[in-house]
Amino acid sequence: MKKIGLLLFFILAFVNISLTQISKYRSYAYAQATRISDELWTEWTEWEDSDVLILVNHTEKSCTVYASKTNKLDLVKYIGTSTNNGIETSSWIFVDDNGIECRFELLKDNDIRQIYIIYPDFKIVYECKIL
CA distance 66 to 56: 11
Rounded average pLDDT over 49-65: 95
More confident residue, 47 or 58: 47
Partners of 117 in beta bridges = 104, 124
Rounded average pLDDT over 89-111: 94
Please tell me whether residue 5 adopts helix, strand or coil conformation: helix
This model's pTM is above 0.85: no
Give the helix ranges, DSSP H, for the chain. 2-19
User: What's the DSSP call for residue 69?
Assistant: S
DSSP strand pairing (112-118 vs 122-130):
antiparallel
What domains appear along the chain, each with residue ranges and CATH number?
A: 22-130 (2.40.128)
User: What's the DSSP call for residue 16?
Assistant: H
Amino acid at 33: A
At 78 the pLDDT is 94
